[in-house]
Structures are given as structure tokens and as C-alpha cells.
Amino acid sequence: MIYLDHAAATPVGSRVLEAMEPYFLRDFFNPSAAYLPAKKVAADYEKAKGSIAHAIGAKTSDIIITAGATEANNLAFTSLALDGSCLYLTIEHDSVRKIAEQHNGQGIKVLSNGVIDLDDLKTKITDSTELISVALVNNEIGVIQPLAEIAAIIREIKIDRLKRGIKKQLLLHSDASQALNLLDINVARLGTDLLTLNAAKVYGPKGVGALYVSHDARLKPLTYGGGQENGLRSGTENVPSVIGFAKAVELAKEHLNGNRKKYASWRKILLSELQGYELINKKHVLDNFVVLCYNGLDAERLIYLLEDREVYVSTGAACAASKGQKSHVLKAIGLSDEQIAGSLRLTFGEANNEEQIHEAAQIINEVVTNEKRRLGR
Amino acid sequence: MIYLDHAAATPVGSRVLEAMEPYFLRDFFNPSAAYLPAKKVAADYEKAKGSIAHAIGAKTSDIIITAGATEANNLAFTSLALDGSCLYLTIEHDSVRKIAEQHNGQGIKVLSNGVIDLDDLKTKITDSTELISVALVNNEIGVIQPLAEIAAIIREIKIDRLKRGIKKQLLLHSDASQALNLLDINVARLGTDLLTLNAAKVYGPKGVGALYVSHDARLKPLTYGGGQENGLRSGTENVPSVIGFAKAVELAKEHLNGNRKKYASWRKILLSELQGYELINKKHVLDNFVVLCYNGLDAERLIYLLEDREVYVSTGAACAASKGQKSHVLKAIGLSDEQIAGSLRLTFGEANNEEQIHEAAQIINEVVTNEKRRLGR
């Protein structure tokens, strides 16, 4: 099996699972209980949150644990007042787009390379804008956005608002779900007020994520109850998953540079050994994302043919693909319907080795050649 | 260690963890992905939801997976229209009370035995009432509510509304988090439209729960995104946890009668061997809940003294206790402040055996005797 869909899901690391296990069976106590073994669990939980916070240059109290990136993204949008408006990058994941649409959000354009159109951003920010949401790395094409530049623009607007006595908050939110494996994230350096993290994309367990919330940002709870997570996210703490999340983040940080080099070399191998493709994501791209277009071929069919050879790739976001939707991301960067129909996303990761990359290139070439022959091209 | 706080948290069963493990490492795929191994995971996930559904007499499509009971309870309240009003039992858990308060909900009184005051319920239902929330088993005193009787009252009101041409929906929601271990739950027999389940109270993993939603009930999403869980609860499915949840539910069903007998006999042992207490929860009670009042003593202090002897008990809901709040449940059933201050909750479960129950009774007696001596009583 050659799994090339790490952007859709990552296996849980064996050391991550090892870290989680004691908290299922032995240290299972409710962290809110009054007796010592429960208080020890509460302390371990806080420590885990602390190491997630530390990894992005934040404090423990800035981290709100959620059930994943979708909930974290939705929680970020609770910062909007009833009359507040929001902007989001047109290529955002559905978990940002759909909640932004609920708030009548306006889309910010991207250039043909997938990078934010800063002029369009500047044009669209008005005095009622309270939230701007731009993912650090796009989940379909792996393009890295210049968050620090966006933050600088926002800072200027804030100064101008201050001068004019406008008190509305203006927050920068970024979904960094795909980024933690390969980018050294620091919230102060990026200038984000809200940042989404996702355990399931960094070899941690599914069903857990986090929202970094700067102390300036004012959010509302999505759910009410026992008052956990600074009152923003009630419910008994998911201790084993957060312990696993912290371990996954720690390992990601530890292997950041090594992985970046490794994936960059694999990307080169793929691009040199594959034949007859058009490269879609050329620059400002996370090293483990390769998006290829086979003009005139049907990528859905290629996925099934590759599946027969035990090579697993995708056409884009799994949740969108399963509904047969055309990629709004590829459309936004100006691809034609035919190009979109022929586009494959390959994302590598820890389930791979270099030999597999060579083998995948060979298998994909064979499948594409056979398919072209069948179609008489 | 003698753990007598199973209402706060249960250890994950070893067979539950065993069922989960393959889905962390091997079957980690995103259920929405297009290739076969992912589709197998999606099928396993659906099957797990099916067995949760089956356990309460429902269909797979009626089950919305959530991150736990708090989210499920909050999701139930999305059934309210902007002008709709709701009722809730005054002794409900914070995850119902706090969201009900957000909707200006009115509390329904309980009798001194903790059972719903049906006359008060009838008085408070008006033509604007859309939702009534009554937990099947209370989390602090283990009192079982007569849901079928409540459902019968609601049915009559619905018929009357129909006659008068009032189209407002009227739903019965029940948080059954504490109940699944010892009661044979069937949504049709109980007459509930919405029912909350919680894996973490039935030896399943933390961070996962479910809301049963009858096909009549109209809910709104708490979060927006990829459209999973019938569009009501977006986010990549938490496969391992749901697999574990289903196994836990299956085991709970399997051992229902055996556990009920066992816990009933342990309850008898405790009540006959303990000395100098007043029993708070006498009738209509889940067999593993024992709430005792030691008049004139401080239960918080007893917890610490018992902790020294490695006996772990609580004063009530962990999340409320940790904030030093006086139990609103014990207050609602008419206990004085002094009685509330002297009340302990003992909840037994699979971490116990009969020997431990005898031992716990002896240790509690000793601790109480010493404490009375210290206070000169």
C-alpha cells in the first residue's frame, strides 16, 4: 500500500498512542473531581495544553480545546457581533466557508498561484469588518499564505480606526490544520489573534483540535454547561486525546526540519519521474503537497485505477469529494472545468518512504499511459 | 483504591480499547475519502452508529454523533425557534440548565423524592412551549424520571394543539447519560423525541456522545462545515471513539440485568453496614447511586479524609463541585444548607467488587466516627 493522502488523514503515531493509553484505563478520572488522582489527571491535562500552547508560542490559558478543526473554526466566528461582518479567503475549507456564509461573509480573491490577493483584501475591509479568516496552508493545494503581511495590513487599519475613535475589534483568524507538521508556527510572528490546530492532521487522534485565542479576542461559547475551557467549551475534558494531541505536536516540532528536507526531496523525485502532467501548485507550497493535472483525463477514474494498484490519492478535500462537488479551490485559481476534472492531489507523510515515492511515480505513469491509450490519445 | 465515583467518570473497558485500537494505527483513513480502505472505515463507522441506534430501538440515521453529552444536550436546544420557549427540570445537569437559561427556559419543580412534579409540568406548558428537557436519571441522586408518563401528557397536548390548529412542534428531550448501564432504554417506549447518550459514563472513551433525533424533530447545526452527521455536526468522523462507544453500549446492554442485581445487592450492603447517616435517595433510584447525609459534618472534609484511605467519593457533579457551588439538586429536593454540606454521593460500578463495598463501609464508618469525635459530637 502506498498512501499518498496525508492531507485527508494521518495514522496516529505509535508513540502518540502509547502516551494516550494510560489515560483510558488507569488515569481515567474526571479532571474536575476533588480527590488527588483526579487532580493529577487535571494537572497532566493542563500540562498537555501547555505544550500545545508552547509549540505555537502561546500560553496555556490561550488554548481552547475543541472536538477538531471544524469546531475551532466555528468558535472563531463567535467573535462576530450581530452587526459585525467578516472576510474569508475564497479557497478556505468548508468549515470556514460555511460558517462565514452564515454571517454573510465576503470572499477575498486569490491570485492564479493560490496566494491571497492583498489588493482585494484591502478593498474589502470596511469599518464593519471584525474578522478575517485566512488558512495558513490551503488543504487542497498546500499554498502557504503570507499571514505576517496580512497582519501588517490589519495593524495599520487598527491604528487608523483608533485615530478615528472606532472601537470595533478586528481579528485575524487562521486555520493552521495542515501546517503544524512542516512550518514553525508562532502566533506572535504570524500576527494572528485566533489560530486553529487539528490533531488528526499531525499524527494525533481524530476528534480533537484547538483554537488559540489571544487575550484581546472576545468569543462566545458554542455550547453551554460545566464551564470547562474558560467557559467557552463545556464538557468533561477529553483527557486521552489531548495527551495524544500534545505528544503529536511535540513530535511534529521535533522532526520539522528533517521532514521538510525529506518531503522536498520526495517532491523533486515525483516531479522529475512523473510524465505528461501539468503542475498546479508551483510556488509558496508546503513540501508534501503535489497537485497535478492530467489534461483530458478523469481524475476520479484515475483514483479507482490507482486504488487497484494500492496507491491511494485524492482529488481534493475528502468531505467535498465524497459529495461529488467540483473543487472551489481549483476554480478560484482559474483552472478550467476540464483541468479540474483531471487534477489529482498527492500528499505524502510518515506512512511513506523514498522507495514508495519512486514506485508511486512508476505506477501513476503506467496507469496514465494505459488510460490515454484506452481513450486513443 | 476503592473508586466510588462512577457517575463522574468510568474507566474505558479493556474490550472497548481493544476494539478502538486498529482504527488509530491501521484503519485511520478519512471515512469521506474515495478509495476502498477508506470506504471500509466509513462502513465500520456506520455499523457502529447502527449498533448504538439499535441499543435504544432507533435507526442509524436517527443518531448524530457529538463530542459528548454536553454538545448533544446543546444540540437538542437548537430545535427551538426564535420565539419558542422551553421547560427543563430544575435538577438538570448544567449542560441542560445553562443552555435552557440562554433560551429563557422555565424550571419544572421536583417532589421531595426528586421525581418530577407532573402538576407543575402541566401548569407550565403553554402554547409557545416547544421543548421539554428531563433527564432519564439525575446525575447527582440517581432518581429515575417517569418519562413515559411525561410523554403521555405531551401527546395529549399535541392532540389538543392539532385540534386548535397550532402547528408549533413540542419535543421531549432526555439526557440519558447516566442510564445506559442499568436501564433498558427504548426511545419509542419512553416516548422521547431527542435523547442524549454519553460514552464516557458507560466505560467508553471520553469526548464522544450522541443525540438521538426522531425524524419529526427539526434541528439546526451547532457548527458548519463538511456536512457530516446529516449536516448537523460537521467535522471528520471520530472513528476510533465511535467504534469504542458502540462496543461500550453493546457490553452495557449485555450485562444490564447482571449489573442491576449486583449493584442492588451492593446498595443493600452499604445501607446496612454504614452507620449514622440519613439516606437521601430512597426510591425510584438507579441501583448504583447512594446519596447519604451526615448531618453536622462537612462532606468536603470527609472526601479528603476518605482520600487518605484511598476511598474516592464525591459531593455531586464534578464540574459543579470543582467550583465550590452548592448542589442545586439537593436544594431542589428540599434539603437544608446543613444537610447539603453533609451529603456524599457514592456511585459504584465495574471498578468495584463486593469485598470493596464491605471495606468501603468500614472505612467510611471509621472516618465519620473519628470526625464526630474530633468535633465532640
> What percentage of chain A reaches a pLDDT higher than 70?
98
CA dist A333 and A117 (Å) reads 11
In a domain, A220, yes or no: yes
Burial class (CB in 10 A: 0-12, 13-18, 19+), B167: exposed
CA dist B308 and B337 (Å) reads 26
By three-state DSSP, how is residue A76 classified? helix
Taking 80 as the threshold, does the pLDDT of residue A321 lie above it?
A: no
Give the residue among B246, B318, B307, B327 at the shortest CA–CA distance from B16. Answer: B246
- Chain B residues whose beta carbon lies within 8 Å of the beta carbon of residue A199: none
In a domain, A364, yes or no: yes
State pLDDT tens for residues A84-130.
Answer: 999 999 999 999 999 999 999 999 999 999 999 999 999 999 999 99
Asked if B5 and A321 come within 8 Å (Cβ–Cβ), the reply is no
Confidence of residue A336 (pLDDT cuts 50, 70, 90): very high
State pLDDT tens for residues B216-271.
Answer: 899 999 999 999 999 999 999 999 999 999 999 999 999 999 999 999 999 999 99
In a domain, B185, yes or no: yes
Q: Does B122 lie in the same domain as B269? A: no
Asked if A319 and B9 come within 8 Å (Cβ–Cβ), the reply is no
With b meaning 16 or more CB within 10 Å and e meaning fewer, what string describes B110-130?
Answer: bbeebbbbeebbeebbeeebb
Q: Does B47 lie in the same domain as B155? A: yes
Asked if B12 and A25 come within 8 Å (Cβ–Cβ), the reply is yes
CA dist A144 and A190 (Å) reads 12
pLDDT recorded at residue A83: 85
Q: In Å, how far is A351's CA from the nearest CA of chain B?
A: 10
CATH value at residue B60 = 3.40.640.10
Mutation test of the interface with chain B: which of A41, A307, A319, choosing the one with the most B Cβ atoms within 10 A? A319
Q: Does B178 lie in the same domain as B65? A: yes
Find, in chain B, the residue whose alpha carbon is nearest to that of A305: B35
Range of the domain at B366: 2-10+257-372
Q: Does B234 lie in the same domain as B270? A: no
Give the residue among B355, B10, B332, B340 at the shortest CA–CA distance from B182. Answer: B10
Q: What is the mean pLDDT of chain A?
A: 96
Cα B190 to chain centroid distance, Å, stands at 15
Q: How many CB pairs under 8 A join A and B?
A: 249
Is-above-0.95 flag for pTM? Answer: yes
The H or E element spanning position A368 is helix A354-374
ipTM: 0.96
Angle between helices B299-308 and B354-374 (to 10 degrees): 120
Confidence of residue A76 (pLDDT cuts 50, 70, 90): very high
pLDDT recorded at residue B83: 85
CA dist A67 and B13 (Å) reads 22
pLDDT recorded at residue A316: 74
**Residue B253, number of CB atoms within 10 A of its CB:** 18
Which residues make Cβ contacts (< 8 Å) with residue A286, sequence separation at least 6?
Answer: A137, A142, A143, A144, A178, A179, A182, A183
Taking 70 as the threshold, does the pLDDT of residue A269 lie above it?
A: yes
pLDDT recorded at residue A317: 67
The DSSP bridge partners found for residue A107 are A88
pLDDT recorded at residue B22: 98
**Residue B171, number of CB atoms within 10 A of its CB:** 24
Is the separation of the CB atoms in B86 and B105 below 8 Å? yes
Q: In Å, how far is A238's CA from the nearest CA of chain B?
A: 5
In a domain, A202, yes or no: yes
Of A254, A272, A299, the residue that ends a domain is A254
- Chain B residues whose beta carbon lies within 8 Å of the beta carbon of residue A21: 17
In a domain, A163, yes or no: yes
Q: Does B27 lie in the same domain as B134? A: yes
Mutation test of the interface with chain B: which of A232, A247, A322, A343, choosing the one with the most B Cβ atoms within 10 A? A322
**Residue A159, number of CB atoms within 10 A of its CB:** 10
Angstrom distances, CA of residue A194 to CA of A76, A133, B58, B358: 7, 9, 40, 53
Report the pLDDT averaged over residues A129-134.
Answer: 98
Q: Domain tally for chain A? A: 2
pLDDT recorded at residue B320: 63
Q: Does B88 lie in the same domain as B128? A: yes
Q: Does B225 lie in the same domain as B270? A: no
Of B234, B254, B274, the residue that ends a domain is B254
pLDDT recorded at residue B323: 65
Report the pLDDT averaged over residues A325-349.
Answer: 94
By three-state DSSP, how is residue B111 classified? coil
> What percentage of chain A reaches a pLDDT higher than 90?
95
In a domain, A268, yes or no: yes
Give the residue among A170, A11, A211, A191 at the shortest CA–CA distance from A84. Answer: A170
Residues of chain B scoring pLDDT < 70: 317-324
CA dist A234 and A228 (Å) reads 5
Report the pLDDT averaged over residues A193-218.
Answer: 97
Q: Does B268 lie in the same domain as B174? A: no
Q: Does A154 lie in the same domain as A50? A: yes
Q: Does A365 lie in the same domain as A241? A: no
Instruction: Please give the grid coordinates belonging to residue A61.
Output: 490559558
pLDDT recorded at residue A82: 84
Q: Does B72 lie in the same domain as B105? A: yes
Of A220, A254, A288, the residue that ends a domain is A254
Q: In Å, how far is B32's CA from the nearest CA of chain A?
A: 5
Find, in chain A, the residue whose alpha carbon is nearest to that of B229: A319
Question: Active-site residue numbers of A?
Answer: 319
In a domain, A377, yes or no: no
CA dist A146 and A115 (Å) reads 8
Q: What is the CA radius of gyration of chain B?
A: 21
Q: In Å, how far is B160's CA from the nearest CA of chain A?
A: 33
Give the residue among A292, A288, A265 at the shortest CA–CA distance from A143. Answer: A288
Q: Does B287 lie in the same domain as B143? A: no
Find, in chain A, the residue whose alpha carbon is nearest to that of B97: A225
> Which member of B14, B69, B74 has the closest CB to residue A224?
B74
**Residue A257, number of CB atoms within 10 A of its CB:** 11
Taking 80 as the threshold, does the pLDDT of residue A304 lie above it?
A: yes
Catalytic entry in B118, B125, B319, B351:
B319
In a domain, B377, yes or no: no
CATH value at residue A328 = 3.90.1150.10
